[in-house]
């Protein structure tokens, strides 16, 4: 076993070969066997061919981050066998179905140096012998993998039966293929006999992606309309919202572009329901004019900005956290906004709920940042966190009768004016994208426009006082504090457990930002005044959160650990960095 | 219209749509007539201001947003239809009417017009077609005729114009009408027909622009417009008919309800997951237990 207290299985093949289905079956079976897993996907932006993998890191404790290297490679295509062979750890083991593979000189060197063991399974032949078809060679491979892990056949067999419950004609052949693989007599590999600790019990957790959690969080928060235009990595929110639309009754519509999407959402929010939109960087670019409109007309607006590497089309199916500046500075003119970010599975569910409350109370655009790494990774979740209570902050009941049109954009100390909905009261107003007076009437007068601009900006101060400070995770006292946001927190937290136990004198903690803007600074100032060593860790080139912190506090990070190659921070990246071995980044 | 949420049971009055703000349009602008006709049509249909959401584009017509009663949204250039569509799905008790110019509707935001028609959203849309960009001082729009010299086009327009009705009819609309800003009576009856239509009603108003459109002034239209209601047995349910009769924009310009599909099924009625739902999206914002959905991932 490696020294990371986890085992890593990489299931690889071509796009379209069903590697995600295999991955999910294996992850589920591991969960039922009592383990915790984290599922990480790498795949190209195409439908058939190329090479892709679904990687499962698992252990006897919760995991939320991926490894760079794996212990076991399950290869179901020739290309993937060669592509991922070098990513194996020392003593790595390969199961493949590629008839007579030819390894290059360089590959032979790797195999020798890392003491890699390779096992070939005639999986197509085995599938046919078991009464199955060519595609069922995948199931043969899973059976063999399961045997290799030394786990109970019954657990995974039960799962295969559940998966094919609605296809009874294929059920028997699949179960037979699984058993055929399980009974395979390995020539080269030895069983891994996985056993982290003895008190492992069957677990009934859910396995789902960050996008699933976000969609569920939105539905729980009373979102009744979802508009989107497909763009990776936000697209699976759209498809999942559509899949559950008969259970939820939510109106889920793909519209003709992101501008329509943003406008329709602003229209629906203005009318008074809760509407959500999600997109990625390029789509958000198209929405930005509407973000500015929402701010000016004080209409709540919530958009998910699911990040992937840019600029332009960039790498559509890969990860990054390079759009914080876009969220912070998008839209013309100056206005108040709020930027939040997801990180772990809990926040994937709750942040969207907070976003709607803030958007409605402050009547501002709220941008919720996620990343492909959160959006599409498979998290193991025991139960959903508690829901955030819905706060609509609307004028209600008899108060609706006492309104005047000029209440709608009334100049108040907090900057927040009463909000009511079309059709609710006799007091009617115009929500005006032109600068306006308290009832929305257009104005270009110097004093009146200044007062209204100040009123809107006042909301930022009120908001800053309401939102919480960043959270310090880990030991109170530490030799250094890592500062981060987004999915990076998951790698940092997983590594923290490993590192701090082994290096108590070099223990670190994490200052994690879920609320990115406006920026709360009390904890930062405390750390700065104590001269605490702080290291910035971000999945982008500029160190965008770091630059925001510098802009607000004047503090400059001495050390920055930045990564922007389309990959998330792997556990090994951070460990090497802590050991002073980092070469590629920063 | 049904009673409004604020409980006022009185009939709508013309004066309810009054605004104390002064108009800022040119003398003889077609917009005056359009506002007057719209108010009259709403009152005739007993739609009270508190039951309306009037959505305005950026342009000369949009500058009327704060000069009329009702709930109003003065949005972005070209985007008003998309906004109105979103508002219309959320609350069926509020009548959503959108206004846009030929610039914002057939230039910058033409895709939203397509979406509104294809989706058959429950929106009445008024196209203020005055053949130019007025508020930016007389540049060409997508309906300006070729060869005409405009601001920023000193050598004349070299683009072929869009024929709005031909374009709209190609999209299989459920309601397409044309009227003229110089004929208040005709506008009122056309707007009333639009208000009673279920789904997206597209109404093109041939609008005079005394300042920047000297080619086709008020009198030019007045001599040419002819109501289809004056024809014997005009069949507005025939799309081919509508295409033919709406084609001429030079000699005999037909106005009136050119096409209507009386079996029109508006947007929300097309949503299978909402067919049995009686409430509106605005009524449904409350905590939703997602426990069962979550359990499916176990």
Express the helix, strand and coil content of chain A in percent, nearest 5 each: 40, 20, 40
Using DSSP's 3-state secondary structure scheme, residue A90 falls into: strand
What pLDDT shows up at residue A586? 40
Whether A270 has its CB under 8 Å from any CB of chain B: the answer is yes
Question: Given CB atoms, is A423 within the 8 Å cutoff of chain B?
Answer: yes
Average of per-residue pLDDT across A361-375: 98
Nearest-angstrom CA–CA distance, B99 and B201? 12
Strand bridging mode B52-56 / B71-74: parallel
Kindly list the residues from chain B whose CB atom is less than 8 angstroms away from the CB atom of residue A272: 90-91, 282, 285
Nearest to A230 by CA among A251, A274, A261: A261
Model pLDDT for residues A251-267, shown as the tens digit of each residue: 999 999 999 999 999 99
- Inter-chain residue contact B82 with A259, CB threshold 8 Å: yes
Q: Which of the pair, A535 or B8, is modelled with greater confidence?
A: A535
The answer to whether residue A540 neighbours chain B at the CB level (below 8 Å) is no
Helix axes A235-243, A210-220, angle to 10 degrees: 50
Closest to B82 (Cβ–Cβ): which among A216, A260, A381? Answer: A260
Q: How deeply is A504 buried, as exposed, middle or buried, from its count of CB atoms within 10 A (0-12, 13-18, 19+)?
A: exposed
Per-residue confidence (pLDDT) for residue A202, from 0 to 100: 86
Residue B77 touches chain A, beta carbons under 8 Å: no
Selecting from B69, B75, B292 the residue whose C-beta is nearest the C-beta of A433 gives B75
pLDDT of residue A581: 84
Half-sphere exposure (Cβ direction) of A331: Cα atoms closer than 13 Å = 25
Please list the residues that pair with A357 across neighbouring strands: none
Q: Would you call B115 and A256 a contact, using CB atoms and an 8 Å cutoff?
A: yes
Distance CA B82, CA B98 (A): 10
B123 touches chain A (CB under 8 A): no
Q: How many CB atoms lie within 10 A of CB A107?
A: 16
Chain A neighbors of B277, CB-CB under 8 A: 249
Instruction: Specify the length of chain B in residues.
Output: 298
Query: Do A225 and B86 count as a contact with CB atoms less than 8 A apart?
Result: yes
Chain B, nearest residue to A209 by Cα: B297
Answer yes or no: do B295 and A428 touch at CB < 8 A.
no
B83 touches chain A (CB under 8 A): yes
Residue of A nearest to B111 (CA): A256
Q: What is the distance of C-alpha A401 from the center of its chain? A: 45
Torsion of CA A80, A83, A84, A90, to 10 degrees: 140
CA-atom Rg of chain B in angstroms: 20
Answer yes or no: do A423 and B49 touch at CB < 8 A: no
B278 in reach of chain A (CB within 8 A): no
Rounded mean pLDDT of A324-331? 98
Structure tokens at B171: 């999209």
Q: How far apart are CA A445 and CA A436, in angstroms?
A: 9
Which one, of A128, A125, A159, A129, lies nearest residue A142 by Cα? Answer: A159
Rounded Cα distance, A102 and A116, in Å? 15
A263 touching B (Cβ < 8 Å): yes
- The pLDDT, as a whole number, for residue A163 is 87
How far is Cα A111 from Cα A117, in angstroms, rounded to an integer?
8
Element housing A576 (H / E) = helix A571-578
Alpha-carbon distances of A330 from A267, A314, A325, A339, A487, rounded to whole Å? 20, 19, 8, 11, 22
Q: Is B11 on the interface with A (CB under 8 A)?
A: no
pLDDT above 90 for A200: no
**Per-residue pLDDT, A585:** 45
ipTM, interface predicted TM-score of the complex: 0.97
Q: Which helix (H) or strand (E) holds A276?
A: strand A275-279
User: Got the DSSP string for A298-350?
Assistant: T--EEEEEEE-S-STT--TTS-----HHHHHH-SSS----EEEE--SHHHHHH
The beta-carbon neighbor of B53 closest among A251, A275, A422 is: A422
Given a cut of 60, is residue A495 above it in pLDDT? yes
| Smallest CA–CA distance from B89 into chain A, residue | A268
- Across the beta sheet with A480-484, what order do the strands follow? A471-473, A508-512, A480-484, A534-538, A559-562
pLDDT of chain B along its 298 residues, tens only? Answer: 555 666 677 899 999 999 999 999 999 999 999 999 999 999 999 999 999 999 999 999 999 999 999 999 999 999 999 999 999 999 999 999 999 999 999 999 999 999 999 999 999 999 999 999 999 999 999 999 999 999 999 999 999 999 999 999 999 999 999 999 999 999 999 999 999 999 999 999 999 999 999 899 999 999 999 999 999 999 999 999 999 999 999 999 999 999 999 999 999 999 999 999 999 999 999 999 999 999 999 9
**Percent of chain A beyond pLDDT 70?**
98
Both structure tokens of A304: 């998910």
Q: How high is the pLDDT of residue A1? A: 53
Beta strands in A86-243 (DSSP E): 88-96, 117-120, 206-209, 225-228
Write out pLDDT tens, residues A178-190.
999 999 999 999 8
CB contact under 8 A, B298 and A430: no
Residue A97 has pLDDT above 60, yes or no: yes
Q: Inter-chain contact B82–A248, Cβ cutoff 8 Å?
A: no
Residue B74 touches partner A, C-beta closer than 8 Å: yes
CA B203/CA B85 separation, integer angstroms: 16
pLDDT per residue as tens digits for the range A16-70: 888 988 999 999 999 999 999 999 999 988 877 788 999 999 999 999 999 999 9
Higher pLDDT, A586 or A480: A480
Q: Does B274 touch chain A (CB under 8 A)?
A: yes
Q: Are A71 and A9 in contact (CB under 8 A)?
A: yes
Cβ-Cβ contacts under 8 Å, B71 against chain A: 422-423, 428-430
Does any CB of chain B come closer than 8 Å to the CB of residue A271? yes
């Amino acid at each position: 076993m490696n020294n990371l207290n986890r085992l890593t299985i990489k299931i690889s093949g071509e796009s379209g070969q069903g590697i995600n289905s295999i991955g999910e079956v294996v992850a589920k079976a591991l969960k039922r066997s009592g383990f915790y897993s984290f599922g990480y996907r790498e795949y190209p932006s195409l439908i058939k061919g190329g090479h892709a993998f679904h990687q499962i890191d698992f252990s006897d404790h919760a995991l939320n981050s991926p490894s760079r290297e794996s212990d076991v490679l399950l290869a179901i295509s020739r290309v993937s066998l060669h592509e991922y062979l070098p990513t194996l750890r020392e003593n790595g083991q390969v199961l493949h179905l590629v008839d007579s593979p030819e390894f290059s000189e360089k590959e032979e060197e790797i195999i020798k140096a890392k003491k890699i063991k390779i096992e070939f399974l005639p999986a197509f032949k085995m599938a046919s012998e078991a009464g199955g078809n060519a595609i069922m060679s995948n199931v043969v491979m899973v059976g063999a993998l399961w045997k290799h892990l030394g786990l109970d056949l019954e657990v995974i067999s039960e799962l295969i039966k559940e998966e094919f419950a609605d296809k009874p004609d294929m059920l028997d052949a699949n179960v037979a293929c699984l058993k055929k693989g399980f009974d395979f007599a390995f020539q080269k590999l030895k069983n891994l006999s996985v056993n982290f600790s003895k008190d492992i019990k069957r677990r009934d957790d859910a396995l789902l992606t960050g996008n699933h959690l976000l969609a569920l969080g939105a539905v729980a928060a009373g979102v009744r309309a979802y508009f989107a235009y497909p763009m990776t990595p936000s697209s699976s929110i759209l498809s999942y919202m559509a899949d559950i639309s008969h259970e939820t009754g939510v109106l889920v519509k793909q519209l003709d572009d992101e501008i329509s999407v943003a406008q329709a959402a602003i229209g629906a929010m203005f009318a008074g329901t809760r509407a959500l939109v999600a997109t990625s960087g390029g789509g958000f670019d198209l929405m930005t004019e509407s973000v500015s409109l929402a701010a000016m007309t004080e209409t709540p607006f919530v958009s998910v900005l699911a990040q992937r590497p840019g600029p332009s089309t960039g790498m559509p199916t890969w990860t990054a956290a390079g759009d914080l500046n876009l969220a912070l500075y998008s839209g013309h003119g100056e206005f108040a906004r709020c930027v939040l970010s997801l990180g772990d599975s809990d926040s994937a569910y709750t942040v969207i709920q907070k976003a709607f409350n803030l958007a409605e109370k402050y009547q501002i655009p709220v941008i919720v940042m996620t990343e492909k790494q959160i959006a599409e990774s498979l998290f193991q979740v025991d139960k959903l966190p508690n829901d955030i209570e819905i706060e609509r902050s609307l004028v209600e009941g008899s108060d609706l009768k006492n309104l005047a049109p000029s209440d709608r954009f009334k100049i108040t100390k907090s900057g927040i004016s009463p909000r009511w909905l079309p059709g609710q009261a006799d007091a009617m107003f115009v929500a005006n994208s032109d600068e306006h007076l308290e009832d929305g009437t257009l104005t270009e007068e110097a004093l009146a426009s200044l007062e209204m601009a100040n009123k809107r900006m006042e909301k930022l101060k009120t908001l800053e006082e309401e939102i919480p400070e960043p959270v310090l995770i880990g030991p109170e006292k530490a030799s250094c504090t890592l500062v981060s946001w987004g999915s990076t927190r998951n790698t940092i937290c997983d590594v923290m457990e490993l590192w701090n136990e082994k290096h108590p004198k070099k223990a670190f903690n994490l200052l994690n930002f879920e609320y990115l803007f406006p920026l709360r600074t009390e904890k930062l100032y405390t750390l700065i005044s104590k001269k605490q060593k702080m290291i910035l860790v971000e999945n982008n080139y500029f160190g965008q959160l770091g630059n925001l912190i510098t802009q607000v506090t004047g503090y400059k990070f001495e050390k920055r650990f930045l990564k922007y190659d389309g990959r998330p921070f792997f556990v090994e990246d951070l460990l090497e960095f802590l050991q002073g071995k980092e070469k590629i980044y920063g | 219209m049904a009673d409004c949420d604020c409980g006022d049971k009185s009939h709508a009055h013309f004066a309810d749509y009054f605004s104390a703000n002064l108009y800022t349009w040119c003398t003889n602008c077609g917009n005056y007539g359009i506002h007057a006709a719209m108010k009259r049509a709403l009152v005739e249909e007993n739609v009270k201001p508190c039951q309306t959401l009037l959505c305005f584009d950026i342009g000369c017509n949009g500058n009327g947003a704060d000069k009329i009663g009702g709930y109003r949204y003065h949005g972005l250039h070209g985007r008003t239809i998309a906004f109105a569509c979103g508002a219309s799905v959320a609350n069926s008790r509020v009548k959503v009417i959108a206004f846009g110019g030929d610039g914002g509707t057939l230039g910058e935001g033409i895709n939203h017009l397509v979406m509104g028609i294809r989706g058959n959203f429950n929106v009445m849309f008024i196209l203020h077609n005055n053949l130019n960009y007025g508020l930016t001082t007389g540049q060409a729009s997508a309906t300006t005729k070729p060869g005409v010299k405009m601001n920023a086009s000193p050598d004349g327009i070299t683009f072929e114009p869009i024929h709005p009705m031909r374009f709209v009819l190609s999209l299989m609309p459920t309601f397409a009408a044309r009227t003229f800003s110089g004929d208040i009576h005709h506008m009122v009856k056309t707007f009333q027909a639009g208000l009673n239509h279920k789904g997206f009603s597209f109404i093109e108003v041939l609008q005079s622009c005394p300042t920047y459109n000297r080619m086709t002034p008020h009198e030019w239209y007045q001599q040419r417009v002819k109501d289809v209601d004056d024809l014997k047995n005009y069949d507005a349910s025939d799309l081919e008919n509508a295409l033919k009769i709406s084609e001429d924009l030079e000699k005999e310009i037909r106005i009136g309800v050119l096409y209507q599909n009386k079996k029109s099924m508006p947007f929300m009625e097309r949503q299978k997951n909402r067919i049995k739902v009686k409430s509106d999206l605005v009524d449904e914002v409350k905590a939703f237990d997602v426990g069962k959905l979550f359990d499916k991932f176990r």
